[in-house]
Amino acid sequence: MYVTIKEAAQYLNMKESTIQALIQQKRIRAIFDGQQYLINKEQFNTHMEQMEQYKKLVEEILNEPIPEDLDIKDED
């Protein structure tokens, strides 16, 4: 499914100018139909899945209780 720069920016929660810059840097694949750039939305699926996995991992780490250190000694 092809989307416009505006739709891709909304999907990725980025500015349109950032999407345009990424296209110029060839970091986002796009085709030019003579009037506008069209971006295949499927190329972002892997990225979005990886970001969701990363968010879950960070959440697990932040929710993990801090273990008590048995080697702590009272210096008094």
Written as one letter, the residue type at 14 is M
Bridging pattern class, strands 2-3 and 37-40:
antiparallel
Where residue 39 falls (left for φ over 0; alpha for ψ -120 to 50; beta otherwise) is beta
What token pair was written down for 46? Answer: 């892997």
Phi, psi for 33 (deg, rounded to 5)? -95, 15
What tens digit of pLDDT does each residue of 11-52 get? 888 899 999 999 999 989 999 999 999 999 888 888 788 889
pLDDT at 53 over 80: yes
pTM, entire model: 0.63
Structure tokens at 68: 């008590």
Residue 72 in this model has a pLDDT that exceeds 80: no
